[in-house]
C-alpha cells in the first residue's frame, strides 16, 4: 500500500477516535464544561496534562531546534521541563485547594477586584492566542506534507476537527480526547526513534544510542556529527551556544516561569477530586512527559546526521577508520578539495523525500551559482579558511533552506522507514498540535464566558446561557487562531516561546504573589501585570516590525535588535517578570494593605489539611 493511502487511513482513524470520544464525553453542565466535573482519575489527568502541555512545539519543533542549535538547544528542555516541575510542585496544589475553575477567577478573588480579574483575562488571551499560532503552524506543517494539501488548507481542516471535539465536549470531552492523543503522539515519537537509533548505532534505546558508537565503527555518533557540522562551517554540535550565555540563561528562565504561568495547564489541576489527586496527577504527568523529553536530544542529533548524510553521501564523504571525514576516490577525484565538494549533491539526483518536502515550501533550493548542484554549508561562518575555499570553488552562498519544523516529521522518510511509521508520525504531529490547541481554546472560552461575562458583565446569567457564551467564544477563538496561524511571526517553537514570555511577564508573578504574599494588594498586582505585559510586548513587537512611528520601526527607538544586553525577544519574558515583581512591590508599599479576611484566606490556602497553626501556645 502506498504512503499516501496509509497516511490517510492512520490519520483518518485517529480523527474518528477523537470525535467519537468527544461525542461520548460531551459536557452537560458548566462544571463538566470547565473542569470535567472534578472527577478525573489522577493517572488519566496526568496523561491528559502531558498531551495538553506537549504541544506542536515539543513534538515538531523542539528536536528540530536542537538539531539546528546543538548543545544550545538544551535550553528548551531545561526551561519547559523545569517550568513544569515548578508548576506541579509549587503552584498547582495551592491553586487546586483554592477551588476555582480558572486563573483569572483566582486572581480576581485573591486580589478582591474585578479589575484584577479583567486584567488577568487580557493577559491570558494575549498569551493563549500567541501560543495557538504555534499550534496552527504545526498543524499546517503536518497536513501540507502528509495529506498532500497546502499548509493553509491544513489549518482549515485542523480548525474543523478542534471545533468538533472542543466546542461540544468542553473540558470533559477534551480530557478524554487528550488521553487518546497522548497515546498517539508518544507512540509516533518513540517508534521511529527506536528504529533510527537501532539503524545508526545498533542500540534500540535512543537515549543510550545518542552516546553510543556508530554501527560498524569505533566512532561515536556525536563525534561524527561534530566532524560533519564543522566541515560544513558550523560550530561544533556538542558545544555550540547561540548568542550570549546571559541570553541563554534568560531564555531558559523565561520558558520556565512562563510554563508555570500557562493557564491551560493550570486548569487541568481543577479536574481532579482532591488536592492529593492534583499532586499525584502532576507526578504522573511528569513521567509521561519525560518519555518524550529524554528522547528529543537523540532525535535532534540523529535527524541532523541523517540530513547531512543524505547530501554528503552523494559526493563520497565517509568516516574512515581513524574517525576522520575522508573523500571516497571512487566517487570524486582523489585530489579534490574536501570543502569544495562536500555538499554538492546534483539537484536532479536529490532523493524522493526532498522532492516531497519541497512541495510544502518548507524545504527550498536556490541555485545561486547556476551549476545545478546543491551547496549546503554555513555561508555566514567566521572561519576565513572556510570562506576562502567556498569562494575558490565558485560557491555564491548556501543554497538549501531547511525549516526547523520539518526535522522530526521528515526524519523517518530520510531514514527510509516503513510507510506505516511515517504515517504514524503524521498522526502524532497532528495529535500534539490539536491537543494543546484544544486546551488553549478551553482556557480562552472560560476566561471570556466565566471570568468576563458571568463575573463582570452579567452575574445573573443562567448556566445554560453561560455554556452557550463559552461555546461561541471558543468558536470565535478558533477562527482568530486560524487566521493568525496563516500569518505566523516565525517557526512553531519560536512563536510558542513568545507566548511563554508573555505568560512569564504577566500571570506568573501575580500567581506567585497571590499564593505566597498575604500582604500583596490589588493595586500592586494590577500595576505589576500591566507593566510586565507592556514592556514585553513593546520589546517583542519592536523586533517583529509590527509597529511603526512615522515610517520608523520601534526597533530604532530601543537602540537596534537585542539592544537590552543582547537579550532576544523570546527571552525577554524573564525581564518582563522582573519588572512585574518590582512594580507590584513598589505600588504595594505606597497603597493600602489587603483586607484582613483576604490575608487569612491566603494563609489557609497554604496550610496543609489537618495541620495546626504554630503560634507559641501549642
List pLDDT tens digits, range 389-404.
Answer: 778 778 888 888 888 7
Q: Based on the domain organization, do 249 and 311 belong to the same domain?
A: no
The helix/strand/coil state of 271 is coil
Q: Quick check: 586 pLDDT over 90?
A: yes
**Which candidate, 423, 193, 424, 143, places its Cα nearest to that of 300?**
193
- The pLDDT value given to residue 3: 80
Section 401-426 average pLDDT: 84
Q: Are residues 29 and 117 in the same domain?
A: yes
**Which of 403, 427, 445 finishes a domain?**
403
pLDDT reading at 617 higher than 60: no
Task: Tell me: do 259 and 240 sit in the same domain.
Answer: yes
CA-CA-CA-CA dihedral for 187, 80, 117, 576, to nearest 10: -150
Instruction: Assess whether pLDDT exceeds 90 at residue 566.
Output: no
Mean pLDDT within 357-364: 81
Question: Is 402 in a helix, a strand, or coil?
Answer: strand
Question: Is the predicted pLDDT of residue 159 greater than 70, yes or no?
Answer: yes
Do the domain assignments include residue 534? Answer: yes
Asked if residue 617 is part of any domain, the answer here is: no
Q: Given this model, what pLDDT does residue 324 score?
A: 40
Q: Which residues form the domain of 392?
A: 303-403
pLDDT band at 7 (very low <50, low <70, confident <90, very high): confident
Q: Which residues pair with 317 in a beta bridge?
A: 327
Q: Say if residue 399 is in the same domain as residue 425.
A: no
Check pLDDT > 90 for residue 186: yes
| Across 310-319, 408-417, 567-576, least confident range | 310-319
* Predicted pLDDT of residue 334: 31
Q: Same domain, yes or no, for 459 and 555?
A: yes
Answer for the pair 525, 593: CB distance below 8 angstroms, yes or no: no
Close Cβ partners of 310 (under 8 Å, ≥ 6 residues apart): 345, 351, 353, 354, 414
* 236 and 117 both lie in a single domain: yes
> Residue 25 falls within a domain, yes or no?
yes
How much is the average pLDDT of 100-126?
88
Higher pLDDT, 593 or 262: 593
Same domain, 334 and 469: no
Give the residue, 42 or 327, on which the prediction is more confident: 42
> Could you report the per-residue pLDDT of 13-33, keeping only the tens digit for each?
988 888 788 777 666 566 656
Question: What pLDDT does residue 27 have?
Answer: 62
Q: Which of 375, 403, 431 is the last residue of a domain?
A: 403
Mean pLDDT of 88-110: 81
Q: Which three cell numbers stand for residue 105?
A: 477567577
Please say if the pLDDT value at position 510 is more than 90: yes
First vs last C-alpha separation in the chain: 75
Contact by Cβ (8 Å): 106, 514: yes
pLDDT computed for residue 257 by the predictor: 92
Given pLDDT bands bounded at 50, 70 and 90, which one contains residue 94? confident
Query: Which one is predicted more confidently, 544 or 350?
Result: 350
Task: Note whether residue 280 is domain-resident.
Answer: yes
CATH of the domain at 465: 1.20.1730.10
pLDDT range class, residue 38, cuts 50, 70, 90: low
Give the β-pairing of 344-346 and 317-319.
unpaired
Residue 570 has pLDDT above 70, yes or no: yes
Say yes or no: 426 and 397 in one domain: no
How many whole angstroms separate alpha carbon 139 and alpha carbon 133? Answer: 10
In angstroms, the CA 594 to CA 600 distance is 10
Same domain, 128 and 246: yes
Average pLDDT value for the chain: 79
Can you tell me the mean pLDDT for 345-359?
Answer: 80
Residues 128 and 136: their CA atoms lie apart, in Å, by 12
- Distance set, CA 456 to CA 89, 423, 460, 537 (Å): 32, 47, 10, 26
Predicted local confidence at residue 521, as pLDDT: 96
Average pLDDT, integer, range 52-75: 80
In angstroms, what is the C-alpha Rg of the chain?
Answer: 25
* pLDDT of residue 553 exceeding 80: no
Q: Calculate the alpha carbon distances from 573 to 153, 259, 517, 540 in Å.
A: 33, 11, 22, 9
pLDDT at 383: 75
In which band, very low, low, confident or very high, does the pLDDT at 458 lie, cut at 50, 70 and 90? confident
- For CA atoms 263, 264, 269, 272, give the dihedral sign: positive
Number of domains present in the structure of the chain: 2
Which burial class, exposed, middle or buried, applies to 385 when counting CB atoms under 10 A from its CB (0-12, 13-18, 19+)?
exposed
Lowest pLDDT segment from 31-40, 268-277, 602-611? 31-40
How confident is the model over 111-122, as a mean pLDDT?
Answer: 92
What pLDDT is attached to residue 508?
Answer: 93
Residue 466 lies in a domain: yes
What's the CA angle centered on 174, arms 168 and 178, to 5 degrees? Answer: 145
Q: Please tell me the predicted confidence (pLDDT) of residue 260.
A: 80
**Residue 546: its pLDDT value, please?**
46
Q: For residue range 137-158, what is the model confidence (pLDDT) as tens digits?
A: 777 777 776 667 777 787 888 7
Residue with cell 497522548: 182
In a domain, 615, yes or no: no
pLDDT given at position 505 = 95
Per-residue pLDDT at 52 = 80
pLDDT of residue 495: 66
- Assess whether 388 and 426 both reside in one domain: no
Last residue of a domain, one of 377, 403, 429: 403
pLDDT, residue 234, reads 75
Measure Cα distances from 214 to 63, 91, 316 in Å: 20, 44, 18
138 occurs within a structural domain: yes
Co-location of 292 and 384 in the same domain: no
Within a domain: 614: no
More confident residue, 612 or 108: 108
Q: 3-state SS of the chain: helix, strand, coil percent to 5?
A: 70, 5, 25
In this predicted structure, the answer to whether residue 169 has a pLDDT above a threshold of 70 is no
Predicted pLDDT at 504: 93
Mean pLDDT for the stretch of residues 98-124 = 87
Q: Is the pLDDT of residue 588 over 50?
A: yes
Better-scored residue on pLDDT, 118 or 27: 118
Verify that 67 and 145 share a domain, yes or no. Answer: yes
Amino acid at each position: 500500500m502506498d504512503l499516501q493511502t496509509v497516511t490517510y487511513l492512520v490519520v483518518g482513524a485517529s480523527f474518528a477516535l477523537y470525535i467519537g470520544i468527544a461525542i461520548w464525553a460531551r459536557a452537560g453542565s458548566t462544571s463538566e464544561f470547565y473542569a470535567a466535573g472534578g472527577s478525573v482519575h489522577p493517572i488519566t489527568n496526568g496523561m491528559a496534562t502531558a498531551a495538553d502541555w506537549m504541544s506542536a512545539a515539543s513534538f515538531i519543533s523542539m528536536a528540530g531546534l536542537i538539531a539546528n542549535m546543538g548543545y544550545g538547544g538544551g535550553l528548551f528542555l531545561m526551561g519547559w521541563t523545569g517550568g513544569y516541575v515548578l508548576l506541579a510542585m509549587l503552584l498547582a496544589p495551592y491553586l487546586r485547594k483554592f477551588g476555582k475553575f480558572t486563573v483569572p477567577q483566582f486572581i480576581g478573588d485573591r486580589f478582591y477586584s474585578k479589575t484584577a480579574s479583567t486584567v488577568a483575562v487580557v493577559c491570558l488571551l494575549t498569551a493563549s492566542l500567541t501560543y495557538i499560532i504555534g499550534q496552527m503552524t504545526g498543524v499546517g506543517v503536518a497536513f501540507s506534507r502528509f495529506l498532500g494539501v497546502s499548509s493553509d488548507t491544513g489549518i482549515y481542516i485542523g480548525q474543523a476537527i478542534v471545533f468538533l471535539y472542543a466546542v461540544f465536549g468542553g473540558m470533559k470531552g477534551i480530557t478524554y480526547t487528550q488521553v487518546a492523543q497522548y497515546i498517539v503522539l508518544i507512540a509516533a515519537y518513540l517508534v521511529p526513534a527506536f528504529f533510527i537509533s537501532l539503524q545508526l548505532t545498533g542500540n534500540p534505546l535512543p537515549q543510550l544510542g545518542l552516546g553510543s558508537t556508530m554501527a560498524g565503527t569505533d566512532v561515536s555518533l556525536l563525534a561524527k556529527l561534530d566532524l560533519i557540522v564543522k566541515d560544513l562551517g558550523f560550530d561544533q554540535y556538542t558545544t555550540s551556544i547561540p548568542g550570549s550565555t546571559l541570553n541563554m540563561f534568560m531564555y531558559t528562565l523565561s520558558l520556565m516561569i512562563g510554563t508555570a504561568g500557562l493557564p491551560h495547564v493550570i486548569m487541568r489541576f481543577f479536574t481532579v477530586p482532591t488536592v492529593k489527586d492534583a499532586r499525584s496527577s502532576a507526578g504522573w504527568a511528569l513521567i509521561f512527559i519525560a518519555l518524550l523529553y529524554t528522547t528529543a536530544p537523540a532525535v535532534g542529533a540523529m535527524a541532523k546526521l541523517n540530513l547531512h548524510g543524505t547530501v554528503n553521501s552523494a559526493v563520497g564523504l565517509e568516516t574512515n577508520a581513524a574517525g576522520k571525514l575522508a573523500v571516497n576516490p571512487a566517487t570524486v577525484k582523489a585530489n579534490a578539495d574536501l570543502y569544495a565538494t562536500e555538499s554538492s549533491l546534483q539537484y536532479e539526483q536529490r532523493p524522493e523525500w526532498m522532492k516531497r518536502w519541497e512541495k510544502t515550501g518548507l524545504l527550498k533550493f536556490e541555485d545561486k551559482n547556476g551549476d545545478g548542484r546543491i551547496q549546503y554549508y554555513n555561508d555566514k561562518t567566521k572561519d576565513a579558511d572556510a570562506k576562502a575555499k567556498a569562494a575558490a570553488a565558485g560557491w555564491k552562498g548556501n543554497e538549501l533552506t531547511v525549516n526547523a519544523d520539518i526535522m522530526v516529521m521528515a526524519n523517518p522518510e530520510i531514514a527510509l522507514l516503513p510507510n506505516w511509521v511515517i504515517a504514524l508520525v503524521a498522526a502524532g504531529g497532528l495529535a500534539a498540535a490539536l491537543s494543546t490547541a484544544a486546551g488553549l481554546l478551553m482556557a480562552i472560552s472560560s476566561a471570556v464566558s466565566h471570568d468576563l461575562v458571568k463575573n463582570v458583565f452579567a452575574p445573573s446569567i443562567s448556566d445554560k446561557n453561560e455554556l452557550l457564551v463559552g461555546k461561541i467564544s471558543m468558536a470565535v477563538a478558533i477562527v482568530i487562531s486560524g487566521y493568525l496561524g496563516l500569518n505566523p511571526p516565525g517557526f512553531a517553537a519560536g512563536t510558542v516561546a513568545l507566548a511563554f514570555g508573555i505568560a512569564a511577564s504577566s500571570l506568573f508573578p501575580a500567581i506567585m504573589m497571590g499564593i505566597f504574599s498575604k500582604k500583596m494588594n490589588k493595586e500592586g498586582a494590577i500595576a505589576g501585570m500591566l507593566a510586565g505585559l507592556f514592556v514585553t510586548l513593546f520589546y517583542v513587537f519592536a523586533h517583529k516590525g509590527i509597529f511603526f512611528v512615522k515610517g520608523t520601526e520601534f526597533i530604532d527607538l530601543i537602540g537596534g535588535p537585542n539592544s537590552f544586553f543582547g537579550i532576544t525577544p523570546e527571552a525577554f519574558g524573564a525581564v518582563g517578570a522582573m519588572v512585574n515583581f518590582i512594580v507590584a512591590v513598589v505600588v504595594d508599599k505606597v497603597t493600602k494593605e489587603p483586607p484582613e479576611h483576604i490575608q487569612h484566606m491566603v494563609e489557609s490556602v497554604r496550610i496543609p489539611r489537618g495541620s495546626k497553626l504554630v503560634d507559641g501556645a501549642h
